[in-house]
Structure 1
Amino acid sequence: MSKGQNSGGLMSSAGLVRYFDSEDHNAPKISPKTVVAFGVLFGLLIQVLNAAF
């Protein structure tokens, strides 16, 4: 690679790093356990509805 070329590696991802580092303090906080429990319950509901019809 020549001396004057910029590979664009780190600089191209700098905006994404800045975006994901910022947190919205007004956003609702949901624990991972709640998300897993909701997924399991939703799956069971689908199984029950599938068996009923």
Structure 2
Amino acid sequence: MSRGQNSGGLMSSAGLVRYFDSEDRNAPQIDPRTVVAFGVLFGLLVMVLNVV
């Protein structure tokens, strides 16, 4: 690889890091346990509906 070429690895992800690093104060905050519980309940619902 020549010296003048930039692979763009870190520079191309800099915008994403800046985007995900900033948190909106007005955004709804959801507890991770709530998300897991919802996923488990949804999975159980699907299993029950498969049986019926």
TM-score by length of 1: 0.75
Which whole-Å CA distance do the structure 2 matches of 1:49 and 1:3 have between them?
A: 61
Name the Cα RMSD after superposition.
1.4
* Count of aligned residue pairs for this structure pair: 52
Gap regions ≥5 residues in structure 1: none
TM-score by length of 2: 0.76
Runs (4+) of structure 1 exceeding 4 A deviation are none
- Residue identity over aligned pairs, in percent, reads 83
Which whole-Å CA distance do the structure 1 matches of 2:48 and 2:2 have between them?
A: 64
Gap regions ≥5 residues in structure 2: none
